[in-house]
Copies of this chain bind each other. A is one copy, B any other.
Amino acid sequence: MVTSSGVSGRIAVDAMGGDLGPAEVVAAVQLALAEFPDLNPITLVGDTAVLTPLLASAQLANSPRASVFHASEVIAMDDKPLAGIKRKKDSSMVRAIELVKNGEACAIVSCGNTGALMAGGTLKLRPMEGIARPALAAVIPRENGHFILIDAGANPEARPEHLVHNAILGSHYCRVMLGIARPRVGLMTIGTEEGKGNALITETNELLRRVDDIINYAGPIEGFQVFTDHVDVVVCDGFVGNIMLKSWESLVNFFKSMLKEELSANPLRKAGALLSKGAFNSFKERINPERYGGAPLLGLRGTILKAHGSSNRYALKSAIRAAGEVIKADMNHLIEADITRANARLEQPAA
C-alpha cells in the first residue's frame, strides 16, 4: 500500500533497545496486530537469529503484516548518545531510522536509549521544510482529559519561531491522539501581569497572536492552570518542558510512596485501603503512562516515537498504535502545510 506520503506506510519497530528485551517487543507487536486490524504493517528491526523464533512463537512467521529487518548491534542504555549512533552503524536503532530515511517506513517506535534516538533522528532524518529543530511531545493526564506538553526536552534553547512551530506540531498531534478538532494552545509563562515572563515569552506571544487562525491560541498560561481543563496544548522550550515533566513524575512518585506509607501505618488504615482498593486501581489507571506509550519527536521527515526504556508490551502497543494513527492521518503533510502558512505570516513585519 502506498499512502499519500508516497511511502509504504510501514512502522519500523526497534526490537532490541528496551529494558525488557525483544520478547516483550514481539509480544507488543502481536497484541497491536490482533487489536487493530487496520494497523499499518510492521518491520521489526534487530537480530534475525533472535527475532525469527520469537515471531514464529507469536504465530507471525508468515504474516504479511510483520517482517524482520536484520541488524547485528544494539545501542545500550549507557552508550553515549552521539558515539552510539556513530559507532554502531548496524544497530537496530540506526537501521530503523534508516528505513524511514530511505522511504521504506514512515515512523519508528523505540524504547531504546533516548539521547541516541533523538540524536540519531535529528542527524539522519532532516527536519521538515520550514522547521529548524524537532520537538518532543508528551501526553499528560489532567482534569477532564489529557493535554500535550511540547517541547518536553529536545531543544533547550528555543527562539520565538521555534515555539510557534511547537504550537503547530503540538496541535496536530493533539488532533490525532486526543481527537480534539480545534485544540486550545497555551504559552507557558509566569504571571499574566505586565512586565512578567521574559523576553522569549513576550516575543513568542506576539508571534502566536499573528498565527491564531492557524492555531487556536488561548494566550499565556500560568503553572496553576496546567492540570485544569484550560488548554489542550502547553507550549514551552525543551528546558522548561523537561524540568516540568520530570519533576511531575518525581512528585507523583513521592505522593504514591507517602500515601502507601500512611495507608499501611496501622491495621485500621490497611483494612480501609483494602476496601477502597478499586479507587486506587482506577486512580492508577487514569494516570497510567501506558495509555499513550510513546513520546513523539515531531518536526522531522518521519515520526519517531520514543517509549520509556522500561515499557512493557501494553505501553509499547500504545506507542505502535500511535505511530499508525500518525501515518494514517497523514499528519506530517498537514503540519508542513501549516508551517508554510505560519512562516509566511512570521516573515511579515510587525503591524
Measuring CB to CB, which residues of chain A are less than 8 angstroms from any residue of chain B? 80-81, 115, 142-143, 153, 156-157, 188-191, 193, 196-199, 222-228, 236, 238-240, 242-255, 257-259, 262-263, 265-266, 268-280, 282-283, 286-287
Known: A193-B81, A272-B275. A227 touches B254 (CB 8 A): yes
- Chain A interface main SS type: helix
Contacts of A258 in B (CB 8 A): 283, 286-287
- Find out whether the CB atom of B226 lies under 8 angstroms from the CB atom of A251: yes
Give the CA-CA distance A264 to B253 in the complex, in Å.
23
In the complex, are the beta carbons of A240 and B242 less than 8 A apart? no
What is the distance, in angstroms, from A350's C-beta to the closest C-beta of chain B? Answer: 22
Is A80 within 8 A of B224, CB to CB? Answer: no
Contact A277 B272 (CB under 8 A): yes
9 cross-chain pairs, A with B, having the tightest CB-CB distances, nearest first: A223-B246, A272-B275, A272-B276, A262-B279, A227-B254, A223-B247, A190-B242, A227-B250, A269-B276
In the assembled complex, which residues on chain B have CB atoms less than 8 Å from the CB atom of A226?
Answer: 246-247, 250-251
> Taking A157-B199, A244-B244, A275-B268 as contacts, is the C-beta distance between A143 and B257 under 8 angstroms?
yes
Per the bound structure, the CA–CA distance linking A116 and B153 in Å amounts to 34
Which of B157, B191, B248, B276 has a CB less than 8 Å from the CB of A273? B276
Give bound CA distance, A44 to B279, whole Å: 48
Task: Name the CB-closest residue of B to A271.
Answer: B275
Q: Which residues of B contact A244 (CB under 8 A)?
A: 223, 243-244, 247
Question: Nearest-CB distance from A236 to chain B (Å)?
Answer: 8
- Given A222-B246, A242-B190, A276–B268 Cβ distance below 8 Å? yes
Contacts of A196 in B (CB 8 A): 156
Identify the closest chain B residue to A257 (Cβ): B143
Distance from A340 Cβ to chain B, minimum over Cβ atoms (Å): 29
- CB-contact partner of A262 in B190, B251, B265, B280, under 8 A: B280
- Not counting A268-B278, A272-B273, a sample of 14 additional A-B residue pairs whose C-beta atoms are within 8 angstroms of each other reads A81-B193, A153-B190, A153-B191, A157-B199, A190-B242, A197-B239, A198-B239, A224-B250, A258-B286, A263-B276, A265-B279, A265-B282, A266-B278, A269-B276
Hey, which chain B residues are within 8 Å of A247, CB to CB? 223-224, 226-227, 244, 247-248
In the bound complex, how far is the Cα of B284 from the Cα of A259, in angstroms?
10
Are the C-beta atoms of B223 and A249 separated by less than 8 Å?
Answer: yes
